[in-house]
């Protein structure tokens, strides 16, 4: 079925305009009693708006933008937490015809200064007219600029105006902004890639892509229940992340269902509050990365199940990172007494370059496990299925030459459909490398079974080539986390570095252990397990404090950033654990870069 047929199909959930401005305006009329509830840091209702009230607030914000000189086509970077201000600023820009882009607030993902410097680089990359944040953000940003950051790091003088949200809200709006028809294929907003392998790129996503993907998610989620969409969506995911934006906010808006929004910090501090918000509700859909389910199993577990009723947690979507069989088992068994079954877990696969969803489990069955075919990562004996493609979307597994592979053959994952991006803003070279004849090269590796279900085995860009053998970083990480008992709140990161003896593996592991003797034992246990199971001698193994590894907005370890920090000597060690022989000296960063290029 074509996109046009999807839009015109009468009497279905897809009988919607593929225009974000029209969808926002229609939501209040189609579902006058539905809206968004903000949840405070104790898990209680903080405030609520209907979708009609959200539309009116966005119209006022569009008028304020216009009064301050923002024009259609201008780009606005939002550096705000989950709040009404975030929603007003994002939708206000869309109503005006400007192009919003959102980024994490300082301190959300690591060092506040490092995050602000990243924000300024994104401002330059997207040519932002305004950077909207709290007064404290503007103050600290000016401090960084006055310290010479722009001259030292940016390619040209920064042309972005710093706009405090307090100033924006206090601005009297201009006359109402006319809402004319838009080209559905035009760019509606920018989505930053997660940046797990480098600096984030700005993905250009159209009105059509956003609404089609949101409705395709809703349709697939409701499919096995015989319903058009979930009854209510609960989310703690950040709105600057594609799963939080499209999978929760835009899906709720386009489907006309209630949305409950929590702060990511609230979940990370007390993961039980997420489950408490879901408890007792009916027809709940809530997505989260694998690590979040693991965190709940570890921090809440069977001992904390009392008082929870998760029978209505109809669709526990798990995606954003590899779904681990151990986590499926741990979460399901931990909350079985609360009425949760593994049939409620529904794995999915997607990426920002495809708007969000590519595949999603279509059955009310336990997640499928499949043995990894020959030639796959040795540590991955079995992987979890991520479902079949959503509406109007095609997936192919290809060899490096572009040939389509048969089922159960590992290759590169390629995607085609209405959710595929327009391109990377200002990066024609990267766009040409990623988009070919309408197909998206995802950079992921995987295979499909005879029924078309997709299974992921890793990413081709993160392959470690060690002594002539190809390994994925997570192979080392999973061995380490299995020995250390981490994988939830504590994570590990693996990468390779050039040395005088060739490429060698480095493993950095988070731990809460402080006893020197136990640290020494732990390090040797991990190094021995990696050598025994994978045949890989480690050049270096570093134990660090929990929470210090750089993460993306979805919780993935930023291996490239970790590697760069390691090469610069910036990784703070709890203890250096020597492997067989002395740790290998790494080449300096400039030589490292040359080695990578060749």
Asked if pLDDT for residue 589 goes beyond 90, the answer is no
Distance CA 95, CA 180 (A): 9
Output phi, psi for 389, to 5 deg: -60, 145
Taking a C-beta distance cutoff of 8 angstroms, is the pair 243, 49 a contact?
Answer: no
pLDDT of residue 487: 52
The yes-or-no verdict on residue 588 having pLDDT over 70 is no
**Residue 96 tokens, joined:** 């005006």
Distance CA 272, CA 241 (A): 22
Q: Give φ, ψ of 284 to 5 degrees.
A: -85, 135
- For residue 590, pLDDT beyond 70: no
pLDDT, position 2: 35
Specify whether the backbone of 107 is left (phi greater than 0), alpha (psi in -120 to 50) or beta: left
| Average pLDDT value for residue range 79-86 | 97
Q: What is the pLDDT of residues 450-467, one digit of tens each?
A: 999 999 988 777 777 676
CA–CA dist 439, 357 (Å, integer) = 15
Residue 176 has pLDDT above 50, yes or no: yes
Mean pLDDT of 241-247: 95
Average confidence (pLDDT) over 435-464: 90
500 exposure class (CB count in 10 Å sphere: 0-12, 13-18, 19+): exposed
Cα–Cα–Cα angle for 49, 77, 190, rounded to 5 degrees: 85
C-beta of residue 527 within 8 angstroms of C-beta of residue 579: yes
Q: What is the mean pLDDT of the chain?
A: 86
Q: Residue 11 — very low, low, confident or very high, per pLDDT cuts 50/70/90?
A: very low
Token pair, residue 166, equals 């307090």
pLDDT digits 0-9 by tens, 527-559: 988 887 777 889 899 998 888 898 887 778 888
Residues 6+ apart with CB under 8 A from 57: 49, 84, 87, 88
- The whole-number pLDDT of residue 575 equals 53
Asked if residue 469 has pLDDT above 70, the reply is: no
The residue with tokens 């989950």 is 82
Q: Are 220 and 357 in contact (CB under 8 A)?
A: yes
DSSP 39-103: E-TTSSEEEEEEHHHHHHHHHHHHHHHHHTT--TT-EEEEE--SSHHHHHHHHHHHHHT-EEEE-
Average pLDDT over residues 501-507: 79
Q: How far is CA 328 from CA 316, 331, 347, 441, in A?
A: 11, 6, 10, 28
Residue 278 CA to residue 181 CA, distance in Å, equals 38
Q: Is the pLDDT of residue 230 over 80?
A: yes
């Amino acid at each position: 079925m074509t996109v046009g047929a999807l839009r015109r199909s009468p009497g279905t959930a897809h009988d919607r305009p593929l225009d974000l401005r029209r969808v926002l305006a229609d939501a209040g009329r189609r579902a006058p009693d539905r809206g968004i509830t903000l949840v405070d840091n104790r898990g209680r209702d903080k405030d609520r708006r209907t979708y009609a009230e959200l539309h009116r607030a966005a119209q006022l914000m569009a008028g304020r933008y216009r009064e301050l000189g923002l024009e259609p086509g201008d780009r606005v970077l939002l550096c705000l937490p989950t709040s009404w201000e975030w929603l007003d600023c994002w939708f206000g820009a869309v109503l005006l015809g400007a192009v919003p882009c959102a980024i994490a607030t300082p301190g959300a993902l690591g060092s506040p200064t490092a995050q602000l410097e990243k924000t300024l680089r994104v401002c330059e990359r997207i040519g932002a007219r305004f950077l909207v944040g709290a007064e404290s953000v503007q103050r600290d940003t000016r401090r960084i600029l006055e310290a010479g950051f722009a001259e030292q790091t940016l390619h040209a003088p920064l042309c972005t105006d710093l706009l405090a949200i307090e100033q924006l809200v206090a601005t009297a709006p201009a006359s109402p902004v006319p809402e004319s028809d838009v080209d559905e294929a035009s760019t509606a907003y920018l989505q930053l890639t997660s940046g797990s392998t480098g600096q984030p790129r700005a993905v250009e996503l159209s009105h059509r892509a956003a609404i089609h993907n949101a409705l395709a998610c809703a349709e697939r989620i409701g499919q096995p229940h015989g319903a058009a969409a979930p009854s209510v969506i609960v989310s703690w995911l950040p709105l600057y992340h594609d799963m939080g934006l499209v999978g929760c906010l835009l899906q709720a808006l386009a489907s006309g269902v209630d949305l409950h929004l929590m702060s990511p910090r609230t979940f990370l501090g007390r993961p039980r509050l997420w489950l408490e918000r879901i408890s007792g509700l009916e027809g709940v859909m809530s997505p989260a990365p694998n690590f979040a389910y693991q965190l709940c199993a570890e921090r809440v577990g069977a001992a904390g199940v009392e008082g929870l009723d998760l029978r209505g947690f109809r669709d526990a979507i798990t995606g954003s990172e590899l779904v681990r069989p151990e986590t499926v088992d741990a979460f399901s068994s931990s909350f079985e007494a609360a009425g949760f079954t593994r049939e409620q877990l529904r794995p999915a696969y997607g990426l920002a370059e495809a708007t969000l969803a590519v595949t999603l489990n279509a059955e009310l069955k336990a997640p499928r496990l499949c043995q990894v075919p020959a030639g796959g990562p040795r540590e991955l004996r079995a992987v979890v299925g991520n479902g079949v493609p959503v509406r109007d979307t095609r997936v192919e597994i290809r060899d490096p030459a572009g040939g389509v592979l048969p089922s159960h053959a590992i290759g590169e994952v390629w995607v085609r459909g209405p959710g595929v991006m327009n391109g990377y803003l200002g990066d024609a070279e990267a766009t040409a490398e990623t988009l070919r004849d309408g197909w998206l090269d995802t950079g992921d590796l995987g295979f499909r079974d005879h029924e078309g279900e997709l299974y992921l085995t890793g990413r081709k860009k993160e392959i470690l080539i060690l002594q002539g053998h190809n390994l994925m970083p997570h192979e080392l990480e999973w061995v380490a986390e299995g020995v250390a008992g981490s994988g939830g709140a504590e994570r590990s990161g693996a990468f390779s570095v050039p040395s005088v003896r060739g490429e060698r593996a480095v493993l950095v592991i988070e731990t809460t252990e402080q006893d020197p003797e136990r640290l020494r034992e732990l390090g040797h246990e991990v190094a021995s397990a990696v050598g025994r199971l994978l045949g890989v001698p480690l050049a270096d193994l570093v134990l660090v404090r929990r929470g210090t590894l750089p993460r993306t907005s979805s919780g993935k370890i930023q291996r490239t950033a970790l590697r760069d920090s390691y090469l610069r000597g910036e990784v703070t060690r709890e203890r250096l654990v020597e492997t067989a022989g002395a740790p290998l000296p790494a080449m300096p960063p400039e030589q490292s870069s040359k080695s990578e290029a060749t």
